[in-house]
């Protein structure tokens, strides 16, 4: 935030300036509300939220099952977001896993779509009254 003087501050003949009153000046535009990074869409963001809640890494079979429930094609999703955002890896034991590579991106996607994954099924987050 830069400061700028109010209009009407006086200049003295020898070049000295009377400071006057300083007001805050916002020199940046309002924040963009759109998602500027790759936008995977609502259902893909639900998948990303599911994966993030489970530690950001899951077996490929689990991810395929979840994508099937959400009506997504995991291969297409990975082609769209590899290698910077989501990635497929082979473990040292030969298993295949899917991993979120960029957690801040995942958070921004979830915030953009208003998706929050409740922790341990909190009753207040499910819309039920706590007893």
Instruction: Give pLDDT tens digits for 2-61.
Output: 444 444 444 445 555 544 444 444 444 434 445 667 888 999 999 999 999 999 999 999
User: Is the four-CA dihedral 97, 103, 108, 111 of positive or negative sign?
Assistant: positive
**With the CA atoms of 113, 117, 122 and 125 taken in that order, what torsion angle do they form, in degrees rounded to the nearest 10?**
10
Its pTM surpasses 0.85: no
- What is the C-alpha separation between 99 and 43, in angstroms, rounded? 17
C-beta of residue 37 within 8 angstroms of C-beta of residue 107:
no
- What is the C-alpha separation between 100 and 84, in angstroms, rounded? 9
**What is the C-alpha end-to-end distance of the chain, expressed in Å?**
47
Q: How many CB atoms lie within 10 A of CB 43?
A: 15
| Digit-coded pLDDT (tens) for 78-118 | 999 988 999 999 999 999 999 999 999 999 899 888 887 66
């Amino acid at each position: 935030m830069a400061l700028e003087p109010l209009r009407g501050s006086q200049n003295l003949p020898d070049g000295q300036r009377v400071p006057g009153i300083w007001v805050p000046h916002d020199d940046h535009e309002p924040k963009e509300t759109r998602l500027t990074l790759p936008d995977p869409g609502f259902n893909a963001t639900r998948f990303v939220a599911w994966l993030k809640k489970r530690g950001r890494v899951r077996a490929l079979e689990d991810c395929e099952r979840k994508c099937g429930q959400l009506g997504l094609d995991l291969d297409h999703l990975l082609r769209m977001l590899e290698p910077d955002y989501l990635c497929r890896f082979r473990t040292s034991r030969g298993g295949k896993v899917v991993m979120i590579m960029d957690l801040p991106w995942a958070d921004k996607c979830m915030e953009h779509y208003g998706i929050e994954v409740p922790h341990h099924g909190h009753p207040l987050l499910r819309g039920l009254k706590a007893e």
